[in-house]
Structure 1
Amino acid sequence: MRRLATGLLLFMGLVFVVSRIFVPQYPFLSFVGAFAEAAMVGALADWFAITALFRSPFGLPIPHTAIIPRNKDRIGESLSDFLEHNFMTPEIIRDELHSIDFAGIAAGWLAHPDNSAAISRQVIKGIPTMLRVIEDDDVRQFMQNRLTAALDNVRFAHVLAEVMSLLVARQHHQKLFDHLIGIADRALEHNKPYIRWKIHESSPRWLPKAIDQKLYERLLEALQGTLAEMKEDDSEWRMRFHLATDELIAQLESSPEYGAKIDSVVRDVLGHPLFRNYLIDIWHDIKSRLEADAASEDSQMVARLNRALNAFSDELLGDAAIQHKLNQWIRTVVGEAIVQRREMIADLVTRVIHKWDAETISHKLELHVGKDLQYIRINGTLVGGMVGLVLHVISLAL
């Protein structure tokens, strides 16, 4: 495009010379000469203007030339300021993010078997590396110290009270009560011969066996009746168990003695060498199993994670409400993150442009926009010629 524009300028120069030579013989060539003369002026003016953007024409130190190389840093600062206040505003970011279905895109991508399998393999492949980091003595000591410091601030009685309150709220303590009654019922059924023998062993030798048997049957009947009564939903036993549970929760929450005892017991257990050695043995066993499974071609962890990802993607694709909530959350988080850090992002643009070489950036910009700028030179040649022709006509008319 540069050669085309320059060639057009040279062509106008040739036309101007030829028209001036032959105008005495052909007067109409004065119009052609006027067009060519003005076209050269327009072409030269636009050439100077465009060249002055990127370099000094002919290398001469003419003021206000080589604008981009000389003002690179200022242009970078202006560009970053423009980006910060015109592109990364809350309104623009919100509008742009609103049209993106983050949850749907992610779910659709995960729903493809190859993608979910690749994610699963990559996640599981990183487990051995993570385990090696945790096994490092410095990291292990750091984590142990942090865990000890964290446990020192934990009030185990309150934690236990909160757990028990949650279980009571969901009626799990009643399930425990039923389970305990079931254990007692099965134990009674399983030990009937022993109970019969124990009664007979404890009875006087002169007491008839029929009476022993009757006593055994009455005792068994009483025990079974009591257990059956305890199983009823509105039994007094069940109510007493509920009240005892509530009282225990209240004691755990308010009693300093309970709290001190439980904290002491828990810390004694956690700090005992046998318990620590046991945990270390368990950890090494788990670690070896995880590493072996992660290295296996038929890894169970990969298969399970893959199934979980597939199930998650299917559930997410079928639940528009959850997609909407996830999209709202992602848009809020991403939007706030961008807006809060827009000054940092804009500063990055400034720092990068400051590091660029002036000549290099000038050359790159010229390559990107130079084609359009050469069109300006061509248009300037043609428009200048038309203006010169009009002015020549007016001068003849006057």
Structure 2
Amino acid sequence: MTEQEQVAQLKKTRALATGLLVVMSILFLVSRSMQARHPALGFVAAFAEAAMVGALADWFAVTALFRSPLGLPIPHTAIIPKNKDRIGDSLSDFLEHNFMTQEIIREELRPIDFAGAAAAWLVEPENSRAISRQIVRSLPALLKVVEDDDVQKFMHGQMQSTIDKMQFAPVFAELVSTLAAARHHQALFNYLIDMAASAFEHNKPYIRWKIHENSPKWMPKMVDEKVYERLLNAVQSTLNEMREEDSEWRMRFEKATASLIEQLRTSPVYEEKIGAVVRDVLAHPLFRNYTLDIWHGVRQRLVQDATSPDSQMVAKLDGVFRSFSKDLLGDRQVQSKLNQWIRITATETIVARREAIADLVARVIRKWDADTMSRKLELHVGKDLQYIRINGTLVGGLVGLLLHVVSLAL
């Protein structure tokens, strides 16, 4: 209900209550003036007199809540304006301890199917499409924020600070350790052996030529051939031995890998060398220009797609939303777990911040002036209070009539 509607309703009920008081006053004056000729009007006069008293008493009580009746400085009137801050503090305390509790919030959230409702809404094509389009359309604005000079300086400073504080050697240690745990280092060892065997195989003519070239002129070529064959056999035998799972070569490589991991984790020399290389690469103009070129290209494509009526990002995001929603609607167990997580998160969040939320009420009320406070409360409860005046008029009249009857009977 708007404030204008509240004002109209308050004026209507107030006029009704005041009009009833005027009617009772006129009825009292008329009945009293004619009572001598018509004694039965004494009952009407008694009713009207008591009704006036009740109406005036309730008018005074209702008015005293919001202002001083007739502007007179009567004690204990204008209760709300004079106690504005205390009322705000009381409301804040009442909300905090009677509404924002674990039990109440959890009980209120229990019947709500957050996941099911969201999935049912999102599975509709027009809804998922609208959400997807809104998300994608916000992308260019987000990119503009990222490319703002002040934002870029801040992000660059934060990134540089993070890089300066970061230790790279332990990161490489964990990477090598993970690869070693999966036996990828042994695959690397096998690859190196195969690469050496392939290189040796492709360079046999060159090796034979080098042996002949470095042999004395008087040495028979048959001897050179024997040396070449023995060298070939020795290399081939060594490569075959290295391929064996329990070979000494493989064990040495295993130990070397473990030693490298340990050195990366603990050696300050490794950290200094690796950190210097990484920082030099990141700070190099070629690297920065290359990354900027990539970013500008990616940004241009993103903006073009985001502003296109046939955006691929919108279509893909729409498909993801609908597929996810459809799968979620068909899985009650996941819905139940999501609802439970939402309820727990919402409850803990509200309860953890209930003091700040309740304090907002007190702070807002403190900022209001006394007239604003009175006006807002009167607009919300004034209509009901005017009915108190009406009821007081009627009840007072009935009580007065009853007392008149009793007095006559005595």
TM range (shorter): 0.7 to 0.9
Per-residue displacement from partner, 1:277-302 (whole Å, max 9, x unpaired)? Answer: 22222222222222222222222222
**Match for 2:57 among 34, 45, 48?**
45
Match in the other structure for 2:306? 294
Shift in CA distance, 304/251, structure 1 to aligned 2, threshold 3 Å: farther
Shift in CA distance, 203/69, structure 1 to aligned 2, threshold 3 Å: closer
Match in the other structure for 1:123? 135
* Matching of residue 391 in structure 1 with residue 380 in structure 2: no
* Matching of residue 278 in structure 1 with residue 278 in structure 2: no
* Matching of residue 343 in structure 1 with residue 336 in structure 2: no
Shift in CA distance, 112/226, structure 1 to aligned 2, threshold 3 Å: farther
**Match for 1:305 among 308, 313, 317?**
317
Match in the other structure for 2:67? 55
Following superposition, the deviation at residue 384 of structure 1 comes to 1.2
Matches within 5 A, 1:134-153: 134-153=146-165
Following superposition, the deviation at residue 177 of structure 1 comes to 7.3
Distance (Å, rounded) in 2 between the aligned partners of 1:363 and 1:62: 20
Q: TM-score when scaled to structure 1?
A: 0.77
How many residues end up aligned between the 2 structures?
381
Matches within 5 A, 1:52-91: 52-91=64-103
Shift in CA distance, 149/391, structure 1 to aligned 2, threshold 3 Å: same
**Structure 2 counterpart of 1:383, one-letter code:** V
Distance (Å, rounded) in 2 between the aligned partners of 1:169 and 1:96: 50
Distance (Å, rounded) in 2 between the aligned partners of 1:130 and 1:116: 21
Distance (Å, rounded) in 2 between the aligned partners of 1:145 and 1:152: 10
Shift in CA distance, 66/164, structure 1 to aligned 2, threshold 3 Å: same
- 2:403 is paired with a residue of what secondary structure? helix
Distance (Å, rounded) in 2 between the aligned partners of 1:199 and 1:349: 90
**Where does the alignment leave 5 or more consecutive residues of structure 1 unmatched?**
none
Distance (Å, rounded) in 1 between the aligned partners of 2:333 and 2:193: 43
**Structure 1 counterpart of 2:383, one-letter code:** K
**Match for 1:113 among 119, 125, 136?**
125
Q: TM-score when scaled to structure 2?
A: 0.75
**Match for 1:382 among 369, 394, 397?**
394
Percentage of pairs with the same residue: 61
**Structure 1 counterpart of 2:370, one-letter code:** A
Distance (Å, rounded) in 1 between the aligned partners of 2:204 and 2:180: 39
Following superposition, the deviation at residue 200 of structure 1 comes to 9.8
Shift in CA distance, 195/171, structure 1 to aligned 2, threshold 3 Å: closer
**Match for 1:355 among 353, 357, 367?**
367
Per-residue displacement from partner, 1:256-291 (whole Å, max 9, x unpaired)? Answer: 444443333323322333222222222222222222
Distance (Å, rounded) in 1 between the aligned partners of 2:24 and 2:151: 78
**Match for 1:31 among 43, 55, 73?**
43
Distance (Å, rounded) in 2 between the aligned partners of 1:134 and 1:21: 87
- 1:386 is paired with a residue of what secondary structure? helix
**Match for 2:378 among 344, 351, 366?**
366
Q: Which moved more, 1:267-276 or 1:38-47?
A: 267-276
Shift in CA distance, 106/160, structure 1 to aligned 2, threshold 3 Å: farther
**Structure 1 counterpart of 2:74, one-letter code:** I
Match in the other structure for 1:133? 145
Match in the other structure for 1:267? 279
Per-residue displacement from partner, 1:5-49 (whole Å, max 9, x unpaired)? Answer: 233223333333343344444443333332222122112211221
- 1:126 is paired with a residue of what secondary structure? helix
Distance (Å, rounded) in 1 between the aligned partners of 2:158 and 2:143: 18
Distance (Å, rounded) in 2 between the aligned partners of 1:181 and 1:65: 96
Match in the other structure for 2:19? 7
Following superposition, the deviation at residue 66 of structure 1 comes to 2.6
Distance (Å, rounded) in 1 between the aligned partners of 2:153 and 2:15: 71
- 2:143 is paired with a residue of what secondary structure? helix
Distance (Å, rounded) in 2 between the aligned partners of 1:150 and 1:372: 63
